[in-house]
Amino acid sequence: MLLNQKKEVNFWSGFFIGIFWFYWIALSFRYYDMSYMVPFIIILVGLVYAIIFTLISYPSNPFIRAIFILFLSYLHPFHFSWLKPELIFINSYLGIEKWQFGVTLFTLSLASYLYKKDKKILAILSLFFIIFAINLPKKSKNINFKNNIALVDQKVPEDIKWDPRYKEQIIQKDLLAIKKAINNKKEMVILSESAFPMYLNTNEQLLSTLKKLSKKIIIIAGALRYTSDGYYNSTYYFINGKIKIADKVVLVPFGEEIPLPNFLKNLINRIFFDGAEDFKTAQHPTTILIKGKTFTNAICYEATEDIIYKNHPHFVIATSNNAWFTPSTEPTLQHLLLKYYSKIYHTTIIHAANMGISGIIQE
C-alpha cells in the first residue's frame, strides 16, 4: 500500500503507524506527574512519522519509494531507532538482512508495476525474485551453559520501584532470588536493569553482602552509580568476591538524555524534570570475561543499537526495566528487536527484564 497510495493517504498511514508502533513512549510521563502530556506526546509521535511517510511518498514511482522504505530504518528521529520495517518478517520465512528486505521490496514494486500488464510474467518474476529473500530456519546453536543461568523475572511496578517505603522490601526479594539460584545449583544469576533501585556503589553494607554471595554464584544486577562526575545507569558484576561495573553507553532519548542543543536541553530539564541532569555514559561497551567466555554488556535501549554488536560478540548480557511502559506493546517490540539483532549479528542475547520478556535469544 505504501508503494502505491497517494501521499495524502500515506500521511495518515504514517500517522497511525507511528502511533500504534510507539504510543507507549508517552506512558513514561505518568511517573513524572505529567499524565496530562500523554495524549500530546502520542499525537506528536504520530505527526513526526506522518511527515516522514509523506516525504517518502512524493515520488510516485514504486521502485523509488521502495528505496526510501529500504533505508527507513537508518532514519532516527530524536535519536530513536526502533522503527525497522523488517521486523514484520522476523518470525517469517522471509529474511531480514538488508539485501533480503531489498529483494522483497523490489518484488512488491515489480508486482505493482506489472499487475495491469501481464499477470503471467508477474507471477513468474515474483516467484523468481522472492526465492532469493527466503531465509530457512537454521538449527539452533547448543549453548552448553544456558541451564546454569538463572534469569530473575521481576515484577516490580515503576510507581513503587523508587518509593523509599518499598526499598528494603525490593532488596530482600532480590537477595531471596539470588539465594534461590544458589540452592538450585546455578552458576550465574542475572537480575534486571535497576534491580537494586539506588546508587549501589554508595551502599557498603549491601555491596559486602553481594560480594559474599558471589563466592557461591556469579551475580549480575542493574543499579545506579554515583560519582563526582555525575550519575550512571550501570550493571554490577559480582564475581568471586570482586566487582566490575559496566556503565551504559547509549542513553534513552528523553528518558535519560534530552537529544537537543544545550539551551533547549537545559530548558526542558528545568521545566519538566526539576533541573535534573542527563545521565553520564561510558565511551564504549564493556566486555566481561566469565568462565573463559567473553560477554558484552547492554542495558535496555542500547541492546537494540548497532554499537553493542559492532565487534560481532558471541554473547550479550542485556538487562531491562520495561515497567516504565507496561502494560503496552513495548516489551514485545523490544523482544522482536533483540531477535533482529541476534539474527543480524549471529549473537546470543541473554536478557533479564523487569515487567518484560526475559529469556535467551539466539539466531
Residues catalogued as catalytic: 193, 248, 300
- Measuring CA to CA, which residue among 179, 205, 208 is closest to residue 191? 179
Rounded to whole angstroms, how far apart are CA atoms 322 and 325?
Answer: 6
DSSP string, 317-356: EEEEEGGGG-SSSHHHHHHHHHHHHHHHHT-EEEEEEESS
- Measuring CA to CA, which residue among 194, 244, 200 is closest to residue 218? 244
- Measuring CA to CA, which residue among 243, 225, 359, 247 is closest to residue 298? 247
184 exposed, middle or buried (CB, 10 Å; 0-12, 13-18, 19+)?
exposed
Rounded to whole angstroms, how far apart are CA atoms 348 and 155?
Answer: 24
- Measuring CA to CA, which residue among 199, 175, 153 is closest to residue 321? 153
Bond preceding residue 327 cis, omega within 30 of 0: yes
Q: Which residues pair with 225 in a beta bridge?
A: 232
Neighbouring C-beta atoms of residue 224, cutoff 10 Å: 17
141 exposed, middle or buried (CB, 10 Å; 0-12, 13-18, 19+)?
exposed
Rounded to whole angstroms, how far apart are CA atoms 165 and 262?
Answer: 35
| Amino acid at position 14, single letter | G
| Amino acid at position 314, single letter | H
| Amino acid at position 172, single letter | Q
For residue 343 the three cell numbers come to: 539474527
Rounded to whole angstroms, how far apart are CA atoms 106 and 169?
Answer: 56
